[in-house]
Amino acid sequence: MIKDNVRRIREYIFWICSKINRRHHSITIVAVSKGRTCEEIKEAQEAGITDIGENRVQEALIKYNELRTMNYKLRTHMVGHLQTNKVKDAVKIFDLIQSVDSMRLALEIDKQAAKINKIQDVLVEVKTSPETTKFGLEPEEAIGVIKEIVKLKNINIKGLMTIAPIFDDSEKTRPYFRMLRELKDKINTLHLTPCTLDTLSMGMTDDFKIAIEEGSNMVRLGRAIFERQGTVP
């Protein structure tokens, strides 16, 4: 089932990209494996998934340990809210922390990454809608925080992440995704970061088509990959 899901998602992304003249290879699929077993992750990997995401450090620690003993190598992403007291573990196990939503958190990541001699790749999470009670920086404060984060030696900002509000009609998510893309373009035009930001992590099972149309190059998919259901045509 997981293999079929991944194949259908790939074909769907190929179709979306062909309509808007984008290269389908430029879209990274992050399989969000929270609540799923290592067996399920293994099946996803055998279907060609290279990136996995978790939203809790504790769960990730346990599963990544198990995956290591099974000799599975995947790129790991932290996609959920990160508490400062979990940062020490997080920098050890995640290739990309997608949920940097405060300067306080960025400072802690920098500190803990320095201790293990790591430059931690991160995304800055932006709250693109007032409706969601989710975490994330307001778009207006994001630029100020990014200007401060770039001064930190052990953090490398790769791009931005957002979670759109949930609607029955996914088309309604479009303005939120567009806002994130425009914010990224603005940051790049102003040359606020040493390297151009290139990652836009946006789009989940119900709205990744719209997100890709609006410029996403990283989609975070849980149900579409791991569940038997028909949100992907």
146 binds ligand PLP (CB under 6 A): no
Examine residue 220 and tell whether it contacts ligand PLP (CB under 6 A): yes
Which of 19-27, 169-177, 185-193, 200-208 is the region at the interface with ligand PLP (rule: CB under 6 A)?
200-208
Q: Give the footprint of ligand PLP on residues 76-135 (CB under 6 A).
A: 79-80
Q: Kindly state whether residue 16 participates in binding ligand PLP, applying the rule CB under 6 A.
A: no
Pick between residue 145 and residue 221 the one whose CB is nearest to ligand PLP: 221
- The least distance separating ligand PLP from the CB of residue 163, rounded to whole angstroms, comes to 6
211 scored as a contact of ligand PLP (CB under 6 A): no
Which residue in the set 90, 106, 157, 163 belongs to the binding site for ligand PLP (CB under 6 A)? 163
Name the residue nearer to ligand PLP (CB basis): 16 or 152. Answer: 16
Site string for ligand PLP, 45-74 (x = CB under 6 A): ----------x-------------------
Nearest CB to ligand PLP, comparing residues 122 and 152: 122
* DSSP per position, the chain: -HHHHHHHHHHHHHHHHHHTT--GGGPEEEEE-TT--HHHHHHHHHTT--EEEES-HHHHHHHHHHHHHTT---EEEE-S---GGGHHHHHHH-SEEEEE--HHHHHHHHHHHHHTT--EEEEEEB---SS-----B-HHHHHHHHHHHTT-TTEEEEEEE--PPP-SSGGGGHHHHHHHHHHHHHHHHTT-SSS---EEE---TTTHHHHHHTT-SEEEESHHHHS---S--
Contact residues for ligand PLP (CB under 6 A)? 32, 34, 55, 79-80, 163, 204-206, 220-224
